[in-house]
Amino acid sequence: MEIIMKNCYIIECPQHFNLGLSLDCGQAFRWSFADDMWQGVAFGRFIKLQQTDNQLIIHNCTEDDFNSIWKHYFDFELDYEKILSSYDDEYLITAVKEYNGIRILRQEPWEALCSFIISQNNNIPRIKGIIERLCETLGDGEQGKKSFPSAEKLSTLTVDDLAPLRAGFRAKYILDAAQKVASGEIDFSKIRENPIEFGREELQKIKGVGAKVAECTLLYGFHKIEAFPVDVWVKRIMAEMYPDGLPECTKGTEGIAQQYLFHWRRMQNR
């Protein structure tokens, strides 16, 4: 008999939402599946989630938390039906049919930036390990429920302090990003307010941040869904399927199309 935690919030699921796919399609790195539930931390809050036929159950979540954080985090305010049904390209139709329910999570900008700095020339299981050690070592809160350490905190550290993370050559990039964010040299509110091109230029002022990491930060940290990160998998997709570029139907939502294609292509290899 299962013990239901108190502060359990239940809603009817929106259309086009698959919890497991959204949490495990390579856009976020702090969610894990155990005991029939997804669990993780975002915005400093530890929650567990289950998706049934038509319901989403969030444990350790008040109505206020849902309305102020999670509704936004899971992008429930965006009309995915409108976007996904506008794709008239055969590969996209296949990817959307097979992996319907992926949504672009609205992650915290600093966590997205730092996570995708760590992601460079790295594989997803190891990215998760480095981020877990980063949070357990330097985050706040109880063990296993730690927050993502702030840019302010990381900005005071040295590469030697980050040695336990085993992040390799990325450690110095993390620190440069933390320093530029903490000092205000990189201003997240200005990136959020301005057109995407501004964010591209700003973020690439950080050592170790090139076009791809900047696109990921803009897509997952600022929900600029026209951002189009090109990693090795998307390079393959472009070479194999779109030698003349993305189809017209993706204009303005390239990041969403990218996420479906990325996950679809990655699953094909296994």
Partner DNA sequence: ACCCAGGGTAACT
Partner DNA sequence: AGTTACCATGGG
Position 265 contacts DNA (CB under 7 A): no
Q: Closer CB to DNA, residue 59 or residue 224? A: 224
Among 4, 35, 125, 245, binds DNA (CB under 7 A): 125
Secondary element (H or E) of residue 124: helix 124-138
Q: Closer CB to DNA, residue 10 or residue 163? A: 163
Of 25, 20, 70, nearest in space to 219 by CA: 25
Rounded to 5°, the CA angle 13-19-20 comes to: 155
How far apart (Å, rounded) are the C-alpha atoms in residues 131 and 269? 25
Q: Closer CB to DNA, residue 126 or residue 192? A: 126
Give min distance, CB of 1 to DNA, in A. 34
Among 95, 112, 127, 177, binds DNA (CB under 7 A): 127
Of 111, 117, 159, 119, nearest in space to 139 by CA: 111
Quote the tokens at residue 264. 């679809």
Position 232 contacts DNA (CB under 7 A): yes
Residues 132-151 within binding reach of DNA (CB under 7 A)? none
Residues 17-76 within binding reach of DNA (CB under 7 A)? 25-27
Among 119, 147, 150, 253, binds DNA (CB under 7 A): 119
How far apart (Å, rounded) are the C-alpha atoms in residues 168 and 160? 11
Of 203, 149, 158, nearest in space to 177 by CA: 203
Please write down the HEC assignment for all residues of 165-186: HCCHHHHHHHHHHHHHHHCCCC
Q: Closer CB to DNA, residue 141 or residue 168? A: 168
The one segment of 40-48, 58-66, 147-155, 212-220 that binds DNA by CB under 7 A: 212-220
Give min distance, CB of 223 to DNA, in A. 14
Residues that bind DNA (CB under 7 A): 25-27, 116, 119-127, 129, 166-169, 204, 207-214, 216, 229-234, 258-259, 262, 266
